[in-house]
Structure 1
């Protein structure tokens, strides 16, 4: 009787069986093991993943654009409540989806950045939704006036995102010039907004939200450069890569 003491991996190594149904990928994992991806009971399905980056960038740009419109009181609008529903749904949920897709496709940058700004949009909306009671906790029940703590707390919120965005900007040093410009102007926007809330200076707040239009433009451009590609549109937008490919 033949000796069958060698295991499944040894059979793969030696090529002792190589039928179509049992054929495995001849690759090794980071730990040096055979990368066995066979699922015998399941049908073999060949799939390709779409690029999630345009969705993440375009939804991010939409959120910044709307927040900036309300922040500069466009058309004399003083009540910006309508923007909270939009930023919680499109930039919020869409960037979570883009982040998950980036994670699956192995894009660490997208898997980190998109869910982070999804959290920013969702938290921004939650702060302002009446049902959460966040603003109510800073409001005097008798006079209806906001506590001085509220703008200072929002300033700390903005400074925190300034730090996080700075980390992302460093990670984008080898991406494209439009993404780098997006993060650069986003940092300026956070500085102006944080300073405006700390000092109670409305001019700084308007200036910060005005810079947001530049951020949105860069994000729209970067998103369209990945979305308007050959096969979809008859033209493309240059991505302006920082590091030229050989």
Structure 2
């Protein structure tokens, strides 16, 4: 099978050559925009060719589905920057949620939420927009907005959700002094729903890409339930849920760094490339199975 690019879509056509390569399609036919080395059917693949002295970076492209060919792109791949910004900010806040070194106040996460996880990730999302990646632009820009909003929520002395906040209702607080916990729970629940939507779009990509969103989704869910538990008076359960959210957040942070490294490392700057493990039902997974079957037939 070879790929033919028509407009923004990919069309598959049968090869009429009887001497086709048994190891799979010609890598040149899978690329767009010169020697960028991206697999058009799944950008989470690193294409190895014998005629390249320096292999292009695997990509870590923040696009789990069919990828439009890169044509005369003047921007570098912004995905590793956005992933790194997300990873570090998530790592620090998750460490606080886990109670690392007896730290309980999340104030240290505020400057990261504004400067790195917020502003830098938002810029990376805008650059994803510039290169035509809808998924990457939506995800990175949204999580950049999340960190800015969460930074405002945690900013000392602004006290948005506590006593003295701009929307304080003294009468309601007299009835339920912990009602702001449910408000934060709703905030996190909304991000759980959004992350679930993105998660569904990664089911045909790679294992590492899917696990990033899966663990992040569980982190949002655990943290939201932890706030609901406080409002219900279940302080012990709330503590356990918060630590569970911190644990899943920590895993998500390292998975984000993993995917970022996959997008940065190439043969010019690293002695090794890390695997991203294509799902068997993905385009790349099916391609590998067909290539292996063709190889076995040729040997038989």
Same fold flag (TM > 0.5): yes
Note the 1:88-167 alignment, pairs <5 A: 88-130=114-156, 132-135=158-161, 136-137=164-165, 147-167=177-197
**For residue 76 of structure 1, what is the aligned residue in structure 2?**
102
**Greater per-residue helix proportion:** 1
2-structure distance, mates of 1:171, 1:198: 28
Task: Say whether 1:222 aligns with 2:259.
Answer: yes
Task: Say whether 1:185 aligns with 2:215.
Answer: yes
* Change in CA separation of 1:68 and 1:164 when aligned onto 2, cut-off 3 Å: same
Which consecutive unaligned segments of at least 5 residues does structure 1 have?
A: 1-26, 30-45
**For residue 268 of structure 2, what is the aligned residue in structure 1?**
231
Shift of 1:173: 2.0
**For residue 56 of structure 1, what is the aligned residue in structure 2?**
82
Cα deviation, 1:200-226, whole Å, max 9, x if unaligned, reads: 121111111111111112111111111
1-structure distance, mates of 2:243, 2:188: 15
2-structure distance, mates of 1:91, 1:230: 29
Shift of 1:230: 2.4
Cα deviation, 1:130-161, whole Å, max 9, x if unaligned, reads: 354413417799xxx99411111011011100
2-structure distance, mates of 1:132, 1:192: 26
Match of 1:130, SS state, is coil
- RMSD over aligned Cα atoms: 2.6
2-structure distance, mates of 1:147, 1:127: 18
* Change in CA separation of 1:105 and 1:212 when aligned onto 2, cut-off 3 Å: same
Size of the aligned set, in residue pairs, is: 202
Cα deviation, 1:78-131, whole Å, max 9, x if unaligned, reads: 222111111211111111111111111111110110000001111110011135
Cα deviation, 1:21-61, whole Å, max 9, x if unaligned, reads: xxxxxx999xxxxxxxxxxxxxxxx7632111111111111
Greater mean deviation of Cα atoms: 129-138 or 78-87 = 129-138
Indicate conservation of the 8 Å contact 1:140/1:147, yes or no.
Answer: no
**For residue 194 of structure 1, what is the aligned residue in structure 2?**
224
Greater mean deviation of Cα atoms: 90-99 or 116-125 = 90-99
Which consecutive unaligned segments of at least 5 residues does structure 2 have?
A: 1-5, 9-71, 231-237, 288-300
Match of 2:271, SS state, is coil
1-structure distance, mates of 2:265, 2:255: 15
Match of 2:222, SS state, is helix
Higher relative contact order (CA closer than 8 Å, sequence separation 6+): 2
Per the normalisation by structure 1, the TM-score is 0.75
Indicate conservation of the 8 Å contact 1:65/1:213, yes or no.
Answer: yes
2-structure distance, mates of 1:170, 1:152: 27
Note the 1:206-221 alignment, pairs <5 A: 206-221=243-258
- The structure with the largest alpha-carbon Rg is 1
2-structure distance, mates of 1:238, 1:244: 16
Shift of 1:182: 1.1
